[in-house]
Amino acid sequence: MSKKQEILNRLKASRLVAVVRTDKPGDLIEVGRALLRGGVSFLEITMTVPKALTIIEQAADALKDDVIIGAGTVLDAETARAAIQAGAGYIVAPALRPAVVEMCRRYDVASMPGGMTPSEVLEAWESGADMVKVFPCGVGGPPFIKHLKGPYPFIDIMTTGTVTLANAAQYIEAGACAVGIGGELVGKEALANGDFDAITENARQFVEAVKKARV
C-alpha cells in the first residue's frame, strides 16, 4: 500500500482535520501534540499564513508521521510542489485547479480540491481528486451533503466551513468521510494564551462526537 493510500485510510478512519492559522512554527508543533493527545492526527496549515512553507517544514519534521501535516488554500502547481517538498502529506484547495491535482499525482500525494455545486464536485473528482472538499459547507449544511451523495455515492467528500461540535456528526451521517474544523477546535484565544490543554479537550470532544455518528 502506498503512503498516500495509508494517509487517506487514516483520514477516513479518524474523520477529523484541524485547520490552523498561526505564524509561529513552535505553536503549530505544540498544537499538533495537543491535538494528538486528544485523538486528532490531521492538521492543515493554510498557505495564507505568512511563511507557511517554513511552518509546514518544521512541524512535519518535529511531528513525523504521528500527525499528518497538510497544506491548505493551495491555488497553483508551484505552491503545491513547494508544500510537498516541505513535508505536506496532503494538499487542499477551496476550488479545482487541475494543475494542482496533476502535481499531486506526480508526487503521489493526496489532493483535495474544492467544489460546491454538483457539477463542480463531479468535475473535481473526474480530474483525479482523491477527496473533494465541499466548501463552504455551511451554505447547504448536512442536508446538502446527503443530496450530493445520492447521485455520487462513489465520491469521497470532506466538508469544511462552519463545522462545529454541534453538527460534525451530522455531516458524517449525511455522507462526508471527513470534516475540517477551524476555530472551534483550535481557537485564537487558546493559541494566544498557549492553552494547549483546552485544544486537547476540544479534540477529545470532536472525536467523541464523530464516533457517535450513525454511518
The domain locations on the chain are 3-211
CB 89 within 8 A of CB 68: yes
Provide CB contacts within 8 A for 71, sequence distance 6+.
44, 45, 46, 47, 52, 56, 79, 80, 83, 84, 86, 88, 90, 91, 92
Mean pLDDT, rounded, for 76-96: 98
pLDDT at 142 over 90: yes
pLDDT at 215 over 80: no
pLDDT at 214 over 80: no
pLDDT of residue 26: 78
pLDDT band for 24, please (50, 70, 90 cuts). Answer: confident
pLDDT band for 27, please (50, 70, 90 cuts). Answer: confident
pTM: 0.95
- Which residues are identified as catalytic? 44, 133
Which CATH superfamily is 3-211 part of? Answer: Aldolase class I (3.20.20.70)
Pairing between β-strand 114-115 and β-strand 110-112 as defined by DSSP bridges: unpaired
pLDDT of residue 25: 76
